[in-house]
A and B are shown apart, each in its own frame.
Chain A
Amino acid sequence: MHAIVGENGAGKSTLMKTLYGMHKPDEGTIAVDGEEVSFHSPADAIARGLGMVHQHFMLADNLTVLENVVLGAEKLYGIGGKARAKIKEISDAYALGVRPDVLVEDLGVADRQRVEILKVLYRGARTLILDEPTAVLVPQEVDALFDNLRELKAEGLTVIFISHKLGEVLSVADDITVIRRGTTVGSVVPSEVTARQLAEMMVGSELPSPETRESTVTDVPMLRVEGVTLTTEDAEHGARTVLDDITFTIRKGEVLGLAGVEGNGQTELIDALVGTRKPDSGTILLGEEDITGWTTRRRREGGVGYIPEDRHRHGLLLESPLWENRILGHVTERPNTKGKGRFWLDLQGARADTERIVTEYDVRTPGIEVTAASLSGGNQQKLIVGREMSHHPRLLIAAHPTRGVDVGAQAQIWDQIREARREGLAVLLISADLDELIGLSDTLRVIYRGRLVADADPATITPEELGSAMTGAATGHLEHLAEEGAAR
């Protein structure tokens, strides 16, 4: 099992895409089983026994597991009994526990991932490439995944594993390759390095930590959410309550961390707060003002900063230059517009300020005229954070602010949040990275099936305890539960 670690933009994904035949290398060779190969398409790679599990799953929700697995590989074992038997066989051999006739939409994230793994095994893969497989999993699921991977390894398969999370890499990998800015900076064996050394190799500087221990929490409420309930209706599920009586308060200078497995109402809560979706009932107060009926623009002008969870869909205009992206979301504010009623765009102002953001937030780009799509994910995120912070928000809604961002940029983003918090910013932090949540938050809440089911003190909680609440196994105040567990 070989792990590849490196900053975002270091070239991990590019390397994997090259391995998988999605890009052609300019120079150099790829050898499989000692034999030099050259791939022109993923199909070549698959034929050579390479299989890739993408970070974002490539599954059709409305098909069954069986149908998803055979899709595009119908020639192998047909689409009927033979295919089902083969799936069973693979599933049993590696203890994947995949049920072939379940609809994919009914599966959880971890199960979907196992289906993805099965899919590549079904196609005869002997080498598995996993692109950040643990990013979407809770700790318990990560352990289960690693058990599966060890099983695969025991059967003689090769696993290439890409990750940001150094602890995981150290616990599971046999060899580690560290890449930085497109070149290999080291190959190490886990037993010989510590996480800290590994991180230093990755960024060439010291390991950042999300810890914020000096409290800046005041007793002035900045955001009060009271009894917000939201029901959605779709053809398949009928009416579904996605937010159920959500009530919480974030005070000035406080970071409230919201833990939860994705799809438990976080997205809807963000939408309700940003104003892109209207709650059925409940009130939202920003400072002393009731903003429940405000439009998104008015809320943004009123001091709501927003770092969206899906930056490509909600945070950027990918084919527009950086300076236009700097205007996005703040088109009614200085320095983007000028004149009476802020009618005219201030191109010079916006450009100059984009230059400033690029410098201050270390956005790696050759200039501000390039399109947002040409930047790496981490640099796009830095631009977004810079943009939102530049307008001195009163409330920052930060959804996965460091997802897909390298360690160096992560530290910077954390610093920015901490600094603004010191000046009285209220932050709603939603993250799948439990270390980040625990380290950065002053208060923790757990959302499960649209309800806030548990709260915890970040000073004492462990990721494992938080993880069990995220799966609905624990409710209430988590500290007590942990103590009870210890007592038993």
Chain B
Amino acid sequence: MKKTDEAKPDTATGGTTAGATSGTDGAGKATGGATAGGKRFSRDRMLLAAAGPVLALVVAVVLTSVVLLASGKSPFEPYTLMFEYAANADVQVLIINQASSYYLAALAVAVGFRMNLFNIGVDGQYRLAAMAAALVGANAGLPGPLNIALIVIVAMLVGAFWAGIAGILKTTRGVSEVVSTIMLNAIATSLIAYLILPEQFGVQPKGSNNLTTGDLPSSSWFPGIHVSDVAGDVYGFVFVAIGCGVAYWLVLNRTRFGFDLRATGASESAAAASGVDAKRMVLTSMLISGAVAGLAGMPVLLGDSHTYSLNFQTGIGFTGITIALLGRNNAVGIAFGALLIAFLDKTASTLDYNGYEKEIATIMQGLIVISVVVSYETVRRYGLRRQQRKVGEELAAAARATTTREEVPA
């Protein structure tokens, strides 16, 4: 009795294993033939990844030309003007310097995006961070490089702190980070306005209405690369920004932490089931995003203005959102995006001298944002559908191949 009992499952397993092996065999061949297929799929992905931005830019340029035509202007001349202007070395330096701030701000936004968090507060974070760092830097009195390190660390800490408030609100009270960071932007504006008053920490230079936080000692200026006397210096902090980009890529794509972060962004439920503590992840990524945002003011502070004043550049955080979108949260893509937007910014002034409104560049930036959002979603859906169809086709082909192989000997 026992014997037959044991024999039965045995034959059953025997049968199915045989079935399974033949199946595996077929699949083995299928994968064998498809390692090339795998490469093709990743090349496909690269092409599709590039298709989004290219499509967006083409659409934005076309639409801008339409706007120009509608206002009775030449639809092409502004572009040539801008390119000609950008051929000057001093403009190029301006573009690169500006791009470094944009790049850092966009990285800060991208960290959040990767995690499905929309940190609109980068703007407030970097302004508050820059102000605090400038204040500390002007008064700490440490020797050169140490003072720079202190300034950078203070900036990161303040940025992280300001973003962390939104993070804590989200994890403990479920407050949407979109709402809280927008509000924190407004609060940062008021807070800075208060702190920079002469009664608090502000300094009013003689014969000026401006308020500053006092000048950094010249030993704390971040050394730049001297291009020429006309063109000026490329900020040394540009290289820090590049370093941040490399670190961003490395952490996200090559570390466990980065995987957890991306997984949470892709599917919070799946990440939770796989052991990611979603709340901690929200807080951590907000802190990182804020810390990087804190760096966004550093290129200007350490390389150019050497003080935080009323006319310190604002709005970098919002431009960072555009750039992060344009660059698809990809370290290299963001770099291109930052350069493009900086190019539009810095070459727009030439339009004024040539009878065009420089707001054309602003219009173009706006159109880029819209077309980016639309084209990326279109390309994403198209890519997904196309891949599903291709996988289906390849499998069907593989299946046909195996059946004919099976049939031939029979």
Which A residues form the contact surface with B (CB < 8 A)? Answer: 181-182, 205-206, 208-209, 211-214, 274-276, 295-301, 306, 308, 313-320, 324, 327-332, 337, 342-345, 347, 355, 358-360, 362-371, 373-375, 408, 411-412, 415, 418
Contacts and interface: CB of A to CB of B under 8 A. Distances in A.
A369 B42 contact: yes
B30 A364 contact: yes
Interface stretch (B16-24, B83-91, B147-155, B231-239): B16-24
Contact of B41 (A211, A324, A370): A370
A297 B6 contact: no
Contacts, number: 171
A343 B255 contact: yes
A318 B272 CA distance: 15
Nearest to A409: B23
B273 A358 contact: no
A368 B41 CA distance: 9
Contacts of B259: 324, 327, 331, 345
A337 B259 CA distance: 10
Interface string B387-402: 1101110111011000
A364 B24 CA distance: 9
A214 B9 CA distance: 8
Given A328-B270, A369-B38, A411-B20, 12 more contacts: A205-B19, A275-B275, A300-B275, A313-B269, A314-B273, A319-B266, A363-B27, A364-B27, A366-B34, A366-B391, A366-B398, A373-B388
B266 A214 contact: no
Contacts of B31: 355, 358-359, 365-367
Contact of B388 (A211, A363, A369, A374): A374
Contacts of A299: 275
A102 B401 CA distance: 54
B198 interface: no
Nearest to B274: A329
14 contacts: A317-B266, A319-B266, A319-B384, A320-B262, A331-B263, A331-B275, A332-B256, A337-B256, A360-B24, A365-B395, A366-B390, A366-B395, A373-B384, A408-B19
A313 B267 contact: yes
B28 interface: yes
Interface string B172-204: 000000000000000000000000000000000
Contact of B387 (A337, A342, A374, A412): A374
Q: Does more than half of chain B's interface fall in helix, strand or loop, or is it mixed?
A: helix
B141 to A, nearest CB: 38
Contacts of B267: 313, 316-318
Contacts of A408: 19, 23
A368 to B, nearest CB: 6
Given A374-B388, A415-B17, A295 B37 contact: no
Contacts of B139: none
Contacts of A373: 384, 387-388
Nearest to B266: A317
Classify chain B: how many residues form its interface, as a range: 35 or more
Interface string B253-289: 1111111101100110111111111000000000000
Closest 10 CB pairs of A and B: A367-B38, A297-B275, A329-B274, A314-B273, A366-B34, A366-B394, A374-B391, A296-B275, A366-B37, A317-B266
B80 interface: no
A369 B41 contact: yes
A365 B42 CA distance: 14
A182 B396 contact: yes
Contacts of A360: 24
B404 interface: no
A367 B388 contact: no
A313 B270 contact: yes
Contacts of A363: 27
B230 interface: no
A295 B255 contact: no
Given A314-B269, A319-B384, A366-B391, A295 B275 contact: yes
Contact of A315 (B28, B38, B270, B395): B270
Contacts of B39: 367, 369
Contacts of A411: 16, 19-20
Nearest to B402: A181
Contact of A359 (B27, B256, B263, B271): B27
Interface in B33-80: 34-35, 37-39, 41-42, 45
